[in-house]
Amino acid sequence: MRDDSDDKNVFDAFSQMKTKKKKKEADDEETKTSSNWRPAPPDISSSAPREFSPISYALLGDSVWELFVRSYLFAPRSKPSTYDSKVKKLARAESQAYAYRKITEIQLTDEELDVCKWGRNADYSNVPKRLRGKKSQGGGHDIYRQASALEVILGWWMVTDDERLDEVLERVKTSGWLEDALTSVEYGSKEEEED
């Protein structure tokens, strides 16, 4: 003879399995909707975004930019040295400044423009030697400040609005700006590149 408690235990176990399955499906769906080229953003829900320094956002944004560039250039296949050379060019301050100027041409919100300004005005004391005294494009410090502003806004978007980050980087990817940066941005000489 079966005990009703056995049925209840089976029912409870089945309900728990269904709940776990639904949670896994929800987690999987959340993963599907997040970007497929980068990790999930850090959780700063216990802090205000401005509690972090612009330099912290710049460090995060720099890694976002490099991962984006590496992912973008990965296919079609090329020689590793060509791939590496293109990545290095696009990860340099000159290309980042170019991308910053292009991104600010699209419609940014007042808050986004304020974050860019915050990033440009941060105290960066480590301007690369190759940029010091550079006269083109407003001087090396200006190039570095623009590149830093790009890194800050990318880091900001990753933390506060990853959908906006995806939207803007998709526009960068489809606009031809990266190809333009590879061909038209003025880079330093070989000697300057080593600095």
Instruction: Please identify every residue annotated as catalytic.
Output: 62
> Which amino acid, 106?
I
- Reading the block at residue 156, the tokens are 């900001």
Q: Considering only CA atoms, which of 58, 60, 92, 86 is closest in space to residue 72? A: 86
- Say how far apart CA 131 and CA 125 lie, in whole Å: 12
Going by C-alpha positions, the residue among 109, 106, 66 that lies closest to residue 86 is: 66
CA distance 113 to 161: 15
CA 16 to CA 22: how far, in whole Å? 10
- Closest-CA residue to 136 (of 185, 102, 194, 100): 185
Tokens of 165: 């980050």
Q: How far apart, in whole angstroms, are the C-alpha atoms of residue 12 and residue 73?
A: 51
Q: Rounded to an integer, what distance in angstroms lies between the CA atom of residue 73 and that of residue 181?
A: 13
